[in-house]
């Protein structure tokens, strides 16, 4: 029955996502995935044609997961300070929930960019977001420093994502326990919010 089919296929998909995120494409074997899904190895190639095809499907989902929540916030009709705060809070929550996601995306794209960009309509959606209009209006009426979306967006996102991507090295470098890092990350989050808002918003 269709119900059963989807169950096995989804079990593999979910297991593959977990393993790929944790170990990367090169570090993951088909056997790893089968074991994580508690299924026979041959099934990964029965449902998906190859490790590569399975990976590409997973990667597309993961990339959309990365952008989707942010996109919703970017299009909200709210004050720009509030918007920056919400994006950062959302990023923060994402990094805590899925600590492997961003470094996984960055690393896989860095290693082989050409193979990982299907027609991602989400990219266009990000480019055409309502925040872009807010920036233009703010620059025009002098309330905001004139900046393009592509300049401000990385400034908003880099702070939180950087310290979480490098969580272990930051812990080691500054001799922090996990609890220390927890507090530290919260501090840092507020610094980033204040710093970016101070820079963008005039007066």
Task: Give the footprint of its own copies on this chain (CB under 8 A).
Answer: 22-24, 26-27, 100, 103, 105-107, 109-111, 113, 117, 120, 123, 126-127, 147, 149-151, 154-155, 157-159, 161-163, 165-170, 172-176, 184, 187-188, 191-192, 194-196, 198-199
Residue 64 interface partner, choices DNA, its own copies, none, CB cut-off 5-8 Å depending on type: none
Structure tokens at 70: 């942010």
Closest approach, Cβ 110 to its own copies, in A, equals 5
Residue 125 interface partner, choices DNA, its own copies, none, CB cut-off 5-8 Å depending on type: none
State the CB neighbour count (10 A cutoff) for residue 25: 19
Q: Which is nearer to its own copies, 46 or 174 (CB)?
A: 174
Residue 166 interface partner, choices its own copies, DNA, none, CB cut-off 5-8 Å depending on type: its own copies
């Amino acid at each position: 029955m269709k119900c059963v089919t989807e169950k096995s296929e989804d079990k593999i998909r979910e297991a593959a996502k977990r393993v790929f995120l944790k170990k990367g494409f090169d570090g993951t074997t088909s056997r790893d995935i089968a074991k994580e899904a508690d299924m026979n190895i041959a099934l990964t190639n029965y449902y998906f044609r190859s490790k590569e095809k399975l990976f590409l499907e997973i990667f597309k989902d993961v990339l959309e997961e990365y952008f989707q929540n942010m996109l919703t916030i970017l299009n909200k009709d709210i004050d720009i300070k509030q918007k920056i705060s919400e994006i950062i809070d959302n990023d923060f929550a994402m990094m805590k929930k899925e600590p492997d996601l961003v470094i996984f995306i960055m690393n896989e794209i860095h290693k082989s960019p050409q193979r990982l960009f299907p027609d991602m309509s989400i990219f266009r959606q990000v480019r055409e977001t309502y925040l872009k209009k807010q920036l233009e209006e703010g620059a025009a009426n002098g309330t905001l420093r004139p900046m393009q979306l592509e300049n401000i967006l990385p400034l908003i996102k880099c702070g939180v994502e950087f310290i979480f991507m490098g969580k272990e090295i930051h812990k080691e470098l500054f001799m922090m326990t996990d609890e220390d890092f927890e507090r530290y990350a919260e501090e840092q989050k507020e610094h980033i919010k204040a710093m970016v808002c101070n820079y963008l918003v005039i007066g």
